[in-house]
């Protein structure tokens, strides 16, 4: 009976030891978070710069489009492109600018 008691006592310790090991691994992972965050920031910095430039370019384009759409509409000659009269810009139906 002593042998069985010893085995059960030993078995009961397995849970405590394994729990401690799992907690230690979790603590190590938690402790490495700042380092992982710094590596992530470093790795994505060039991409963030590219995204920021693209967002600026998009904002510039939207501003330019807003400026263009706030001008009076071009006269429609029915021929697919407006004649360049009275200082207006002639365009094709798809928006290409014709010669001045």
pLDDT per position in the chain (100 positions), as tens? 799 999 998 898 998 999 999 999 999 999 999 999 999 999 999 899 999 999 999 988 888 888 888 755 555 656 554 444 445 566 777 767 766 5
Q: Using the 8-state DSSP alphabet, how is residue 97 labeled?
A: B
Q: Is residue 22 part of a domain?
A: yes
Q: How many domains does the chain have?
A: 1
The CA distance from 88 to 67, in Å, is: 15
Q: Is residue 10 part of a domain?
A: yes
Q: Is residue 97 part of a domain?
A: no
Q: Is residue 26 part of a domain?
A: yes
pTM: 0.40
Query: In this predicted structure, what is the pLDDT of residue 84?
Result: 44
Q: Is residue 79 part of a domain?
A: no
* Residue 72 neighbours by CB distance under 10 Å: 6
- Two tokens, residue 50: 């590219």
């Amino acid at each position: 009976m002593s042998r069985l008691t010893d085995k059960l006592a030993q078995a009961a310790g397995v849970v405590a030891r394994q729990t401690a090991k799992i907690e230690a691994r979790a603590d190590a992972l938690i402790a490495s978070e700042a380092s992982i965050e710094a590596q992530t920031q470093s790795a994505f910095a060039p991409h963030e710069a590219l995204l920021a430039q693209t967002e600026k370019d998009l904002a510039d384009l939207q501003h330019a489009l807003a400026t263009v759409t706030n001008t009076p509409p071009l006269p429609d000659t029915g021929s697919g492109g407006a004649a360049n009269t009275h200082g207006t810009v002639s365009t094709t139906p798809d928006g290409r600018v014709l010669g001045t």
